Amino acid sequence: MTTARERYNQLSRDRRQFLDKAVDCSELTLPYLIQDDTSSKPNHESLTIPWQSVGAKCVVTLAAKLMLAILPPQTSFFKLQVKEDKLGEISNDPKIRGELDLSFSKIEKMIMDYIAASNDRVTIHQALKHLIVGGNALLFMGKDGIKSFPLSRYVVNRDGNGNVLEIVTKELISRKVLEFDIPEPVPNSVVDESQNSDKDDVEVFTYVKLVDGRWQWHQEVFNKIISGSKSTAPKNASPWLVLRFNTVDGEDYGRGRVEEFLGDLKTLEGLSQALVEGSAAAAKVIFLVSPSSTTKPQTIAKAGNGAIVQGRAEDVQVVQVGKTADFATAANMTQTIEKRLLEAFLVMNIRQAERVTAEEVRLTQLELEQQLGGIFSLLTVEFLLPYLNRTLLVLQRSNQIPKLPKDIVKPTIVAGINALGRGQDRESLTAFIGTIAQTLGPEALMKYVQPLEAIKRLAASQGIDVLNLIKTQDQLDQEMQQQQQQMQQKSLLDQAGQLAGTPLMDPQKNPALMEGMTEEAPEEELPPEE
């Protein structure tokens, strides 16, 4: 049986070229983010410091925008809905449908409160940085929250369609933490050096594999399985999320945004270094004294500001670097490349505000989709939907939310490209209605456009269920009849009031009316005689 260590070493050969490229991209942006796997522990003292900060600014800004787009604040990125094949059975009763929508809304709020209370957003934001720089990231949704793995700490194996088959991770864990009988390190031992390079830490491998439609994994130390480390999970609710930024057919790993602009970043790095070093050299002041002059160099060196010394001015010259034109050319080229990078990483359009509105979130999503080209589609398939399914499974198992029937209820992602589609439909519909009103006038709008249908389509474009919210046509007709009856009654009362004020209805002026009232009036009964 192949051990986790052996499988890790086998798959790491295919990862080598992707890891080297990711390290190069990290050195020009965020050097601490991705490091080579040859070192047991990251050594921050040996990290190179870039000569420019444009790369770091680009990565941080794009990661923040991606975070805003896929997990909007104060807004649910998903919606619980009844499956289409079961919708006909429920929609016949509006009361049941209304109660379901209310219950779904409460459950959605409970899930979003759970996510907000956790540290998921922090870890996901870190994973987005890895995606932008290295093109790959691995997330594990454990009981204590989400853990992120850099590319240097995991390997993956996919099939021809890009589906994950195997995952192997490598971690350095202290001996004191592991509840496992670990042999003490033997000095000058070859086995000890291959297993770990630090006396206090050991290498722990986690082997994840898809077996018969379910995920199975365990942990190994010194090629032995740790007791109690075996676990399983359904295929559609795996805690292991393997993410990619850009995909290439046939490759097990993705490619990052930084790799696409690696040439500009390297050019900018070289120009920035030349400008900094050249400016430092140009700023250095050196005085040259003629060897045959009577002016002594010690006199000039010791002379203070405003001092009077004896000598000739022509004997002393100041060395100046005649590179002003070259500096200007390099500076102009640097500005051109910097502008190009800022536009590519969406740094140019940043709004300073305390709160972000829903419209700004939608515009950010639209901008990302236009610039990055389908990144939402990939993140929805490989991150949002598995993340939601795993969160639902954990909360249902812990009885924090009621169990949802799988054959009736399904979660639907409403962030990313899905939200863009609804926003585009709304803009098109409002533009169409506005064009009719401006061109033909409000009268034509009311004559040819059905208001109820327009309201329903506007609600659908924003993902709003109009059941029990918008009045039906029958309700509108009934209200119209009631209004007509009320108007008729009011009209009769008004006519009666106007008629009462005429001389015809005045008994003093119309004796005939008085006689009629007297004839119709009943006789008053007198009390009986005693």
Q: What is the pLDDT of residue 423?
A: 53
pLDDT tens profile 319-370: 877 777 778 888 999 999 999 999 889 887 555 555 566 666 667 767 776 7
CA atoms of 166 and 238, how far apart (whole Å): 13
Which strands, in side-by-side order, build the sheet including 145-149?
Answer: 145-149, 136-142, 240-244
The residue extents of the domains of the chain are: 4-259+355-412, 262-322, 416-461
Instruction: Kindly state the tokens that stand for 169.
Output: 């991770």
pLDDT tens profile 157-204: 999 888 999 999 999 888 777 766 655 544 444 344 444 444 678 899
Say which residue the tokens 């900018």 belong to.
Answer: 268
DSSP 235-263: GGG-SEEEEESB--TT-SS-B-HHHHTHH
Polymer length in residues for the chain = 530
Q: Which residues of 292-308 are buried (b: 16+ CB within 10 A; e: fewer)?
A: eeebeeeeeeeeeeeee
pLDDT tens profile 447-492: 888 887 777 777 766 656 666 677 777 777 788 888 888 888 887 7
Residue 111 near residue 49, CB atoms below 8 Å: no
Residue 136 near residue 151, CB atoms below 8 Å: yes
Average pLDDT of every residue of the chain = 80
- Which of 272, 262, 257, 254 lies closest to 59, judged by CA? 257
CA atoms of 456 and 426, how far apart (whole Å): 11
H helix or E strand, kind and range, residue 318: strand 316-319
Say which residue the tokens 């770990």 belong to.
Answer: 196
Q: What is the pLDDT of residue 522?
A: 55
Q: Identify any residues that bridge with 82 across adjacent strands, giving them in sequence order.
A: 409
Residue 118 exposed, middle or buried by CB count within 10 Å (0-12, 13-18, 19+) = middle
What's the average model confidence in pLDDT over 218-246?
91
Residue 31 near residue 49, CB atoms below 8 Å: yes
Q: What is the pLDDT of residue 515?
A: 59
Distances (CA, A) of 394 to 18, 114, 117, 145, 242: 34, 11, 15, 11, 19
Q: List Cβ neighbours of 218 (8 Å cut-off, separation of 6 or more).
A: 4, 206, 207, 225, 226, 229, 230, 231
Question: What do you get for the CA distance between the two ends of the chain, in Å?
Answer: 128
Q: Which residue has the higher pLDDT, 470 or 122?
A: 122
pTM: 0.75
Examine the pLDDT at 122 and tell me if it is beyond 60. Answer: yes
Q: List Cβ neighbours of 309 (8 Å cut-off, separation of 6 or more).
A: 295, 299, 300, 303
> Roughly what angle, to the nearest 10 degrees, separates helices 417-440 and 451-461?
150
CA atoms of 277 and 50, how far apart (whole Å): 13
pLDDT band at residue 293 under the 50/70/90 scheme: confident
CA atoms of 154 and 138, how far apart (whole Å): 8
DSSP SS3 for 142: strand
pLDDT band at residue 243 under the 50/70/90 scheme: very high
> Roughly what angle, to the nearest 10 degrees, separates helices 54-70 and 262-283?
140
Say which residue the tokens 């995909």 belong to.
Answer: 247
Q: What is the pLDDT of residue 96?
A: 66
pLDDT band at residue 63 under the 50/70/90 scheme: very high
Q: What is the residue type of 521?
A: A
pLDDT band at residue 523 under the 50/70/90 scheme: low
Strand-strand pairing, 224-225 and 231-234: unpaired
Q: What is the pLDDT of residue 242?
A: 95
Helices vs. strands in the chain: H and E counts, helices first = 18, 13
C-alpha count within 13 angstroms, C-beta hemisphere, residue 475: 6
pLDDT tens profile 252-289: 999 999 999 999 999 999 999 999 988 888 888 888 88
Span of 43-52, 133-142, 397-406 with lowest mean pLDDT: 43-52
Q: What is the pLDDT of residue 507?
A: 62
- Which of 148, 147, 145 lies closest to 137, judged by CA? 148
How many C-beta atoms surround the C-beta of residue 50 within 10 A? Answer: 19
Span of 121-135, 139-153, 418-432 with lowest mean pLDDT: 418-432
Examine the pLDDT at 377 and tell me if it is beyond 80. Answer: no
- Which of 150, 101, 80 lies closest to 466, judged by CA? 101
Q: Which residues of 503-514 are buried (b: 16+ CB within 10 A; e: fewer)?
A: eeeeeeeeeeee
Residue 456 near residue 470, CB atoms below 8 Å: yes
Q: List Cβ neighbours of 228 (8 Å cut-off, separation of 6 or more).
A: none
- Which of 166, 162, 168, 125 lies closest to 246, judged by CA? 162
Q: What is the pLDDT of residue 194?
A: 45
Q: pLDDT above 70 covers what percent of the chain?
A: 76
Say which residue the tokens 């329903």 belong to.
Answer: 456
Q: What is the pLDDT of residue 196?
A: 46
pLDDT band at residue 98 under the 50/70/90 scheme: low
DSSP 282-346: HH--EEEE-TT-SS-HHHHHH--TT----S-GGGEEEE----HHHHHHHHHHHHHHHHHHHHHTT
Rg, Å, the chain Cα set: 39
CA atoms of 247 and 136, how far apart (whole Å): 10
Residue 87 near residue 105, CB atoms below 8 Å: no
Distances (CA, A) of 370 to 190, 261, 343, 363, 507: 54, 17, 12, 11, 85
Q: Identify any residues that bridge with 272 across adjacent strands, giving them in sequence order.
A: none
Q: What is the pLDDT of residue 13?
A: 93
DSSP SS3 for 169: strand
Q: What is the pLDDT of residue 192?
A: 44
Distances (CA, A) of 123 to 2, 22, 118: 32, 19, 10
